[in-house]
Structure 1
Amino acid sequence: MYSKNKTLLAMVSSGALAAFASAPVVTFAQDQDNASVQAEERIQVVGSRLSMRTATDGAAPVDIISGEELTASGITETARALQYAVPSFNFPSSSITDGSDAVRPASLRGLSPDHTLVLVNGKRRHMSALVHLNGTTGRGSSNVDLNAIPISSIKRIEVLRDGAAALYGSDAIAGVINIVLKDQSEGGSITANGGQTYEGDGEQYKVHGNAGFKLGDDGHITVAAEYHHKNKTNRAGLDPRQQYPLVDGELDPREETFDRLNHHVGDASFENKALFVNAGIGLGEGELYAFGGVSERSSQSGAFYRRALDSRNIIEIYPDGFLPLLSPETQDVSGYFGYRFNLAGWDVDASAGYGESEFQYRLENSLNASIGPTSQTRFDAGTLTTDEFSTTIDFQRFFPFVNNSDLAVGFGVSYRENSYRIGAGEEASYINGGYDGRSGGSQGFTGFKPESEVDQSRDNTGIYVELENMLTANFQWGAAVRYEDYSDFGSNTSWKLSGRYDLNDQWALRATTNTGFRAPSVQQLYFSNISTLFVDRGDGPQPEQSGTFNNISSVATALGIEGLEPEESQSFSAGLVFNGYEGFTLTIDAFQIAIDDRIILSGDLSPQDSAAVADALAASGADNARFFVNAVDTTTRGVDVVASQVFNLDEMGELRAQLAYGYNKTEIDDVNLPSLLDGLEDNLFDGVERTRMTRSVPRNSGSLAFTHTLGDLETRIAFNYFGDYVLENNQGVQTEFGAKWVTDISAKYRLDAQWSLSAGVQNLFDEYPDKQRPASQFNGIFMYPNTNAPFGFNGGYYYAEVTYAF
C-alpha cells in the first residue's frame, strides 16, 4: 500500500478525519507543538477527501492564507485583506452607490460576486439581503458580506480557484472560499489598531481579539470579537454650479461664501461590532461541534447634493441645500451545530444551521419635497431580509481498491430553505404629498412601498456522490456528481472529474473538468421596488417612477419574461506544479469557464420603446421598468501563477518571497432576449453593462511580497499590481484607467513573549487611479472612478498597532 494512503488510513482510524456537511472538507485536530501547528496551517485543502494535502499537492489550484498573513499588512477589513493576498479576488471600492457603499461586492476570476461560494468551517454561509442596483461590479447580484466575519476569528482562508458545484452545489462556478475559524483551547490575543490617510481623513481605530478556553476534558470554545470605527474619506471635486435662485436677476451673494465641497465621494463611515464563537467537545464516541456569530454595522454615505435652487429641496428646511445621507443598519446572524461520529465503519457528519441577513435602509439629512416645509428629515425607508436554513448528513470511508490502493467514497444529502422579505418603509418615505408639484419620496433613496412588500421562500434537496483514489504512487483521480431539486425551477445535475500525475518528485501535471450551475437567488427572484429617479433624456434631469419588477409581476408576464432559470457552466483547467528541493514552489494553472444564461439586471424600458412596453407599464404606476433576465452567454479564460521561496540567510535571518499573478478575460458569446423585446437589445443590455461585465475588473493583477525575519523583528514589503480596466458612462464614452503599482511596507517587533508593536504604510507612494474624462466627472465633482476602483481612491494610509498575547 502506498505511503500516502497509509498516512491517510492511520488518520481515519484515529478519528481525525471529519467530513463537513454538504462538502468534502476535512480538518485535523490541532497539534499543540509549535512546529506542527505551523505545518498544519498549510495542510487543509477545500475540495478533496484525500485530505493530507498542501496547496501544491492537489488536482485543483488552492490558495491557503493564514490568519497571520491576512493581518500582516495592517488591513482591517477581511475582504480587502483577502484581495491583497489572492490577486484573482477583486474587491473594488464604490461611492454614491446606495446600499453598495455599505456592503461592497467582491468577485473571483472576474466573474459575478454570486459566482463564488463562501463556506465557514465547510458550511455554506448565507448571502447579504442587499441587491446591488447601481453601477458597481456585479450589478443585479448579491454576495456574502465577508466583512461581517472578523479577521480576529479566522485561522486561515482556503480559496479553491476551480468550479465545484458537483461538490458543494449552487454558486461554486468561479470557485469556493472556505473560512476556517480559530479553534484553540487556551491562549489568545488582543490587538488595538489605529491610522489615517495621508490627507488626514479616514481615521479609524479597531480593537479585536480572540481567546480559547478548555471545554471538558477534550473540548474547546474559542471566542473572537471586534469593534471597528472608521470615519469617511472624501475625494470629491468642488461644485462649480450655481447653488441659489437668482435675486432680482443677479447671483445671490451667498454664492461667494458657499462651501463648494458639498459632495461626499469616498469611503463610507461605519461602526462595526462582531462576535464569533467556535466550539467542539467529545460526546460518546464522536464530537459535538457548534459555531456561529453575530455582526452589526451602521454606516453612512452621501447621495447627490441637492442645491438650494433644486426643486427637490425645500428652502425653508435647507436654505443652503443639503446632502442626503444614506445610513443603513445591517445585521448578520448565523449558527451551526453538528455531530461527527463513526457508524459501521463510516465517518458521519450530521449538521444543521441557520443564517440571516438584514439590511435596513435609513435616511438622514433628507426630506420629502412633496410634503413641503413640514417634512421630516429622517426616514425609515424599509428593510430587506434574507435567511437560510440548511441541514445535511454526510458519509465517507475508504475501501480497498485496485492496484493495492484505497478508494475514498463519500455521499450525502442536504436540504436547504431560503426566504426573502421586503418590508415597506414608513409612509413619509414613499408618498407624494402633492406640495407644489414636487417629486415624492425621501431624497437620497425612496422608501419601499407596500406594493413592493414580499415574503417568499423556496427550498431544495441535494444528493451527491464523490469518489477519490490514488491509483498509483504518481496518479490520483477524482469524480463527483450532484443532483439538486428546487421548488421553484426544477432540477439540475452537475459533475466533476479531476486528475493529477506526478512526473517525478518535483514536477506534476493536474487538470479538472466540470459542469456547474447557479440557482437564481431569492433576491433576484423576488426583489421589487418602484422609486423616484432623476433621468436625463436630453432635456435635463427629470423625475421618473423607475420600477424594478420581479418575474412573477404582471408587468414581466405581459412582456413575455418568464421565470428565471439557473445559470449553467462548463469549466476546464490544466496546471503545472513544481516543488523544488530548496523549498521553491511554482504553480501555473490555466482555465476556461463558459456560462450560459447569465442573469442580469436589465437596463430601463420606457413606453416610448414599444407598444408592448407601454401597455405593460400602463397599470403599474411606473414610468420605466427593469427586470432580472437570463440574457447573456459568456466565456472567461485566464491563468493563475503562484510562486514562493524561503531563503535561509543564516545570521541574517530568514526571507520569505511570494509571487502571485492572475489574468482573466471575459467575452460575450451571445445575448438572448424574450421575443416580445426583440429589437430592444441596446436598452436591456447596453454598452455600459457590456463594458461592466467584460472590462470593469482588471484583466491582470498580481503581487510580489517579501517578509524578512531577524530575531524579534519582522519586516514586510509588498508590491501590488492592478492592471488597466475600462468603464463606460451613459453617453457611451469609455475611459481606460491605466495600470498601477501599490506598495505596502510594515514592521513588527516582539518586545517579549506577550507584547508586540507593529507599524506600516499602505499605498506608500500615494497612488491614485487615473482621473475620469471630463464627460464623466459631473462638473468636475467625480474626479476618480466612483464605482469600480480596484484599490480605491484614498491615497496613502499609515497605521500603528499593539498586540498582547496570552
Structure 2
Amino acid sequence: MNKNKVLLALASVGAFSSSAAVAQQQEGAEVQAEERIQVIGSRLSMRTATDGTAPVDIISAEELSASGITETARALQYAVPSFNFPSSSITDGSDAVRPASLRGLSPDHTLVLVNGKRRHMSALVHLNGTTGRGSSNVDLNAIPISAIKRIEVLRDGAAALYGSDAIAGVINIVLKDQDEGGSLTANAGQTYEGDGEQYKLHGSTGFELGDNGHFTVAAEYHHKNKTNRAGLDPRQQYPLVDGELDPREATFDRLNHHVGDAEFENAAVFVNAAMQVGEGEFYAFGGVSDRSSQSGAFSRRALDNRNIIEIYPDGFLPLLSPETQDVSGYVGYRFEHSGWDVDASVGYGESEFQYRVENSLNASIGPSSQTEFDAGTLTTDELNVTLDFQRFFPFVNNSDLAVAFGVSYRENSYQIDAGEPASYINGGYQGRPAGSQGFTGFKPESEVDESRDNTGFYVEVENMLTADFQWGAAMRYEDYSDFGSNTSWKLSGRYDLNDQWALRATANTGFRAPSVQQLYFSNISTLFVDRGNGLQPEQSGTFNNISDVARALGVDGLEPEESQSFSAGLVFNGYEGFTLTIDAYQIAIDDRIILSGDLSPADSPAVAEALAMSGADNARFFVNAVDTTTQGIDIVAAQEFNLDSLGSLRAQLAYGYNKTEIDDVNLPELLGGLEENLFDGVERTRMTRSVPRNNGSVVFTHSLGDLQSRVAFNYFGDYVLENNQGVQTEFSGKWTTDISARYQLNEQMIVSAGVQNLFDVYPDKQRPASQFNGIFMYPNTNAPFGFNGGYYYAEFTYNF
C-alpha cells in the first residue's frame, strides 16, 4: 500500500467525494420487518424489493450458502440468471481470476461496490480466448462468503448514480455487521470422478464496540485440488530410434495435459466496524485475501524443440502458479449537519498478480536452464475520496423531495514489473525458442508505472409525488486527467396502477472510462496459434497505445465507451404471497474497447515496418472499435405456500434473455482494409454468442421443523464458439439439478449435505477438428457451468 496516498486521502477527506452511495431504505423478506435495509438504486425510505423504479435482486447469505457452492462468484451465478461466470482452462492467468459478466456484456461493464463503496479491479488482463477478452474485472472470489450479509444486484444502467463502469448494472456486497455471537463452518466435497477434492473452513464473529457499535470479523481458508477432463494424447512423443518408434511410446502416460479447474489455496480475512463518535458514526471495513493457484499450459513432448531432453527426457507440462493478493480498506464518518446527512470517506484498494511458472525451462538456455521462473508482476491500485450530502425537503402535494449531491476524487495506478532475465532472454542454444515455456516473462520494455485521476460531481433528486407515482432524476459530471470529461444523466419513474400492479421505467446515459490496465498493459509472449498447419509458436505482442508500434500504425489513444439505456417493467404483488416482475431493456454502447486480432508483416507494408524493430511476429492493440446493441428481458416470480402440518414451501422462477448485435465497426484509418484481421469472426462470435442468450432456474425450498430441503433446476442456454478457420460450433442448452438438505441438530449445530449437478451433465463435446487430437474434448474457454460433472459435499456449522 502506498502510504503517501493514504496520508493524502486522510488529509483531503473533507474536500472530495464519491459517486452516490448506497441508497434505498427497504424492508426485506429475509429480515424482520422492523429492520431497514439500504438498497442500491433509490433514496426513498421504507420501500420493498418490488417497489423500486428498476429491478434489484437481493440475495441473502442463507441463499448464497444453501447450495453448498464455495465460491462467491459461482454462488451469485446460480442466484441471478443474468449473471454469467464461465469456466476456463489453459487461459494463462484467467484460470486463477476468471471473468464474470452481467446481461451478456463485458466483465468491466459491471460496477462492484462493497458497503456501497467502489471496489478495485484485478490487475489481470484477460488475453486468451475467454469471455470479455481484453477486459479486467473485480475478483469477487477475493471476498469470502462468510463475510457477506447479502448481495444486491441492480440490473439497470447507473453511471449517473455511481460513475464509470455501471453500464450493465451494479453489484453491491453488504458485509455482516453483527455485534455478538458468530458461526464456524467446515465444508468438504469432491466430484463424481474423484478429483476436485476441496475443503473449506470459514466463519464470522462479532463484538460490541462502544455504545451501539460493532466489530465484525470473518475469515476463510479454502483448498481445492484440480479437476482434469483432458483426453489422452495419441501423438508420437519421442524421437525415432533407428527409424523406429521408441519403445517408451507403449508405456508413456498419455494423460499429459491438464484441462479443468485450477488447483488453488485461498485465505482471506475481512472486517466491518462502526461506532458512535461524537454526534456521528465512525465506520471502517476492508480485507486481505491471498490466493495461490496452479494450472497447466500445453504439454511439451520429448521430441519438441521446446524441450531439452537432458532436463525432461519424457517431455513436460509447464505449470502456471500465480500468486494473487488483494488488499482493501475504507474509513469514513457519517453525521448530520444543518439538516443534511453527510458521509465522508476515504478508501484504498490494491491487486497484485505475480506470474510464476514451474516445471518449465527456457529452451534457448539449453541443459543448464532453471525449471522455475518469476515471470513478472502486475499491480493496480485505486484511491477513492468521497463526500456525500443528502436530505429531504418539503415538496408539492405534501410530499418530500430527496436531494443528494456530492463530489468524488479517484486515482488509479498500474504497474508492470519485468520477470527475472531467465524468463524472457534468448540464450542462443541451438536456435531453440526463448523464454520460460508456458508463459514468457515480461521484458524490461514492458515495464510501466503510470496513473490517472478523475474528479466527479453529481446531483440526484427523487420524490413520491403521490401514493401511486414515484420519479427520480440524476446527473453526473466526471473529468479525467487523460481523456477529458463526460456527463451522464438518468430518469426513472414508477406508477402503481392499483394495490397489485405497477409499471416502472428508466432512461439513462452512461460511460466506461478505459481502465488503466487497457491503457498501459504491454507484453510480448509466445503464443501457439493454429494457422491451418497445426499449432505453431509465434511471438505475439500486445502493445499499449503509447507505444511506438501503435503510434506508427495510427492507433489513437483510448476514449471512453458511451451508452444509452432504456428499460420498462411490470410488477405484480399478489395477496397470497405471489410476486412477479418482468423487465425489458435495451443497452446501446458506442466505441466499445476491444483487444484486436493479430496483425502480421504480411498484412501490409506499414505493419511490417512497425514490427521490424519490436521483436514480435505480430501485434495487437486495445482500440475503440465496435458499436453494439443489447436487448433482453428478465423475469422473476416467487410464491410462498403454507402447507400446514407439512411445513412451508417457497418456489421461485428466474429467467433471463439477452441478445447482443454488432451495429458498426470503426477502425483506425491507416489500418483500413484490415477489419477482418483486427476484428475477425472469432471475436465477433465471442462478443455476440459466446454467452448463453437464455438462462434460468426453478428453485423449491421446503421447511418442516428443523429440516430444510432444496431442489434447484438450472438452465444454461445454447452458445456458439468459432475457431481460427472460421468454423462455428453451437453447444446446446443444458439443465443441471442440485439437491441439498439442512438439519438443525440443536441451537448450536447444523449439518448439511447435497449434490450439485445430480445427473452428471456435461457440455456438448467440441467438433473433432477443435479437439486438438482429442485432448480438448470440451470447450475450455467459455463453458457456462464448467465441465466437471457431478459434485457432492457435506457441511457442518456451529453457531455460538
TM-score by length of 1: 0.96
Aligned to 2:5: none
Would the aligned equivalents of 1:330 and 1:360 in 2 still touch at CA under 8 Å?
yes
Gaps of at least 5 residues in structure 2 are 1-16
**Partner secondary structure for residue 602 of structure 2:** coil
Question: Is 1:566 aligned to residue 571 of structure 2?
Answer: no
Read off the aligned partner of 1:600 and give its amino acid letter. I
Which of 3, 23, 26 is the equivalent residue of 2:23?
26
State the 1:731 CA deviation.
1.3
Tell me, in whole angstroms, the C-alpha distance in 2 between the residues paired with 1:41 and 1:80.
28
Q: How far apart are 1:27 and its partner, in Å? A: 7.3
Q: Does 2:644 match 1:647? A: no
* Separation in structure 1 between the aligned mates of residue 482 and residue 123 of structure 2, nearest angstrom: 19
Aligned partner of 1:149: which letter? I
Deviates more, 1:195-204 or 1:725-734: 725-734
CA 754–333 in structure 1, closer or farther in 2 if over 3 Å, else same: same
Number of the residue aligned with 2:440: 446
For 1:744 and 1:62, the matched residues in 2 are separated by 25
Task: Give, in whole Å, the separation in 2 of the partners of 1:386 and 1:21.
Answer: 19
Q: CA deviation at 1:485?
A: 0.1
1:74 aligned partner: 68
**Does residue 745 of structure 1 match 2:742?**
no
**Matched residue, 1:537:** 531
Per-residue CA deviation, residues 375-402 of structure 1 (Å, 9 max, x unaligned), is 0000000000000001000000000111
> How much has 1:687 moved relative to structure 2?
0.5
From 421, 427, 434, the counterpart of 2:428:
434
The 8 Å contact of residues 26 and 37 in structure 2, kept in 1 or not, is answered as no
Aligned pair in 2 of structure 1 residues 209, 30: CA closer, same or farther (>3 Å)?
Answer: farther
Distance 1:51 1:388 in 2: 31
- Where do residues 269-668 of structure 1 align in structure 2 (5 Å cutoff)? 269-668=263-662
- Aligned residue pairs, count: 785
Shift of 1:37: 3.4
The answer as to whether partners of 2:514 and 2:560 remain within 8 angstroms in 1 is yes
Q: What's the CA shift string for 1:274-324, capped at 9, x where partnerless?
A: 000000000111000000000000000000000000000000000000000
- Alpha-carbon distance in 1 for matches of 2:151, 2:552: 47
Amino acid at match of 1:154: I
Q: Tell me by how many angstroms 1:51 deviates.
A: 3.3
Measure how far apart 1:26 and its partner are: 3.3
Give the letter aligned to residue 19 of structure 2: S
SS of the residue corresponding to residue 37 of structure 1 reads coil
Q: Which letter maps to 1:741?
A: W
Secondary structure of residue in 2 paired with 1:56: coil
| Residue aligning to 2:779 | 785
1:167 aligns with 2:164: no
Equivalent in 213, 221, 224 of residue 219 of structure 1:
213
Determine the C-alpha separation between the residues in 1 that align with 2:581 and 2:46: 18
Helix, strand or coil for the counterpart of 1:436? coil
Corresponding residue number in structure 1 for 2:246: 252
2:678 alignment partner in structure 1: 684
**In 1, distance between residues paired with 2:306 and 2:140?**
36
Q: Superposition pairs for residues 769-780 of structure 1, below 5 Å?
A: 769-780=763-774
C-alpha deviations, 1:735-777, integer Å up to 9, x for none? 1000100000000000000000000000000000000000110
Instruction: Kindly provide the CA deviation profile for residues 463-486 of structure 1, in whole angstroms up to 9, marking residues without a partner as x.
Output: 000000000010000000000000
Distance in 1 of aligned mates of 2:423 and 2:34: 54
| TM superposition shift of 1:540 | 4.4
Quick one: which amino acid aligns to residue 175 of structure 2?
L
Change (3 A) 1:481 1:236: same
Q: How does 1:168-247 map to 2 (within 5 A)?
A: 168-247=162-241
The structure 1 residue matched to 2:725, chosen from 716, 720, 731, is 731
Deviation at 1:55, TM superposition (A): 1.8
Structure 1 counterpart of 2:291, one-letter code? R
State the 1:22 CA deviation: 2.2
Q: Which residue is 1:103 aligned to?
A: 97
SS at match of 2:524: strand
2:607 match: secondary structure: helix
CA-CA distance at 1:99 after TM superposition = 0.1
Aligned equivalents of 1:215 and 1:652: distance in 2? 43
What secondary structure does 1:435 align onto? Answer: coil
Q: Tell me the C-alpha RMSD between the 2 structures.
A: 1.4
- Which residue in the other structure is 2:49 paired with? 55
Q: CA offset at residue 403 of structure 1?
A: 0.9
Distance 1:361 1:686 in 2: 29
Task: Provide the rounded CA distance (Å) in 1 between the counterparts of 2:200 and 2:721.
Answer: 34
C-alpha separation in 2, matches of 1:41 and 1:354: 30
SS at match of 2:430: helix
Cα gap change, 1:741/1:266 in structure 2, threshold over 3 Å: closer, same or farther? same
* Alignment gaps of 5+ in structure 1: 1-19
Q: Deviations over 1:324-373 (max 9, x none)?
A: 00000000000000000001000000000000000000000000000000
Please tell me whether the aligned partners of residues 23 and 47 of structure 1 are also in contact (alpha carbons under 8 angstroms).
no
Structure 2 residue identity aligned to 1:238? L
CA distance in 2, matches of 1:129, 1:204: 26
* Alpha-carbon contact 2:544-2:621 (below 8 Å) kept: yes
Distance 2:792 2:36 in 1: 30
SS at 2:48 equivalent: coil
Cα distance in 2 for partners of 1:772, 1:621 equals 35
Who is 1:16 aligned against?
A: none
Q: Deviations over 1:55-84 (max 9, x none)?
A: 200000000000000000000000000000
Distance in 2, Cα, partners of 1:543 & 1:436: 16
Shift of 1:226: 0.2
- Cα 1:704–1:536 shift into 2, 3 Å: closer
**Aligned counterparts of 1:563 and 1:288: Cα–Cα separation in 2:** 42
> Counterpart of 2:674 in structure 1: which amino acid?
L
Partner of residue 716 from structure 1, selected from 710, 724, 731:
710
Letter in 2 for 1:69: E
Summarize deviations over 1:148-173 as a string: whole Å, max 9, x none. Answer: 00000000000000000000000000
d(CA) in 1 for partners of 2:146 and 2:24? 20
**C-alpha separation between the residues in 2 aligned to 1:699 and 1:28?**
33
**1:118 maps onto 2:112 in alignment:** yes
Give the drift of 1:675: 0.5
Q: Distance in 2 between matches of 1:707 and 1:40?
A: 24
Give the superposition deviation at 1:29: 12
User: Structure 1 CA distance, aligned partners of 2:339 and 2:365?
Assistant: 71
- Once residues 83 and 799 of structure 1 are traced to their aligned partners in structure 2, the CA distance between those partners, rounded to angstroms, is 19
